[in-house]
A and B are shown apart, each in its own frame.
Chain A
Amino acid sequence: GENVEQHPSTLSVQEGDSAVIKCTYSDSASNYFPWYKQELGKRPQLIIDIRSNVGEKKDQRIAVTLNKTAKHFSLHITETQPEDSAVYFCAASRGSGTYKYIFGTGTRLKVLA
């Protein structure tokens, strides 16, 4: 079946450095790729998303890039801060017309002060 691989599973960076999390998807019909942040004991929350007709999207310190040919997409966080520490999940979906989502296994990001 379809799957989404996410790497790394844990990532430690110094405050102010950049962090990159990568995902690979298998379903070539996927066209919507959201990223969620889950703080300890909380629900996942959408932080950024991208559609397959766009190669990159930025929102302040967060950016997502998509390589549709290689079926890769990545989350980039610049100038990391301690409050960025959380678990991050990528997901892939075929978008509107379906509500099926495949999630990656998560990356625990630790930002060291």
Chain B
Amino acid sequence: EAQVTQNPRYLITVTGKKLTVTCSQNMNHEYMSWYRQDPGLGLRQIYYSMNVEVTDKGDVPEGYKVSRKEKRNFPLILESPSPNQTSLYFCASRGSSTDTQYFGPGTRLTVL
């Protein structure tokens, strides 16, 4: 089944404790992206990648890191999480020759 998966789905952590949210897709998509969703603000793009080893900042990259060492994986790294990074995070992917974007199930992160 074609899908985008994220782990973990729920995470409660404390300020300053490094964490990684994994994202994987099995559709051989070139493009992958991370979004955060906050009430009243919609979806905001954090980082995106158009190929292995190619990443670009979205609208809200501060406090986040990403890497694209393999085509299928695009982890999101919070080196020193802060409470303002409490949010719902979505990973997404898309093929380079299509427009349809597929979202993962979401990761609800709480930073205390």
A interface list, Cβ under 8 A from B: 1, 6, 9, 32, 34, 42-46, 49, 89, 91, 93, 95-96, 98-106
Contact = CB atoms under 8 A, between A and B. Distances in A.
Contact of A95 (B43, B50, B99): B99
B103 A99 contact: no
B45 A106 contact: no
Contacts of B90: 43-44
30 contacts: A6-B42, A34-B99, A43-B90, A43-B104, A43-B106, A44-B43, A44-B90, A49-B99, A49-B100, A89-B42, A91-B43, A93-B99, A98-B50, A99-B31, A99-B33, A99-B48, A99-B49, A99-B50, A99-B56, A99-B94, A100-B45, A100-B48, A101-B43, A101-B101, A102-B59, A103-B35, A103-B44, A104-B42, A106-B40, A106-B42
B64 to A, nearest CB: 16
A40 to B, nearest CB: 12
Q: Which of B41, B58, B96, B103 has the most CB of A within 10 A?
A: B103
B98 to A, nearest CB: 8
Given A89-B43, A103-B42, A44 B103 contact: yes
B36 to A, nearest CB: 11
Contacts of B100: 46, 49
B61 interface: no
Given A103-B35, A105-B42, 17 more contacts: A9-B40, A34-B99, A43-B90, A43-B103, A43-B105, A46-B101, A91-B43, A95-B99, A96-B96, A96-B97, A96-B99, A99-B50, A99-B56, A100-B45, A100-B58, A102-B59, A103-B43
A112 B90 CA distance: 30
B13 to A, nearest CB: 21
B43 to A, nearest CB: 4
Given A1-B59, A99-B33, A99-B50, A45 B103 contact: yes
Q: Which of A42, A89, A96, A104 has the most CB of B within 10 A?
A: A96
Interface in B77-112: 90, 94, 96-97, 99-101, 103-106
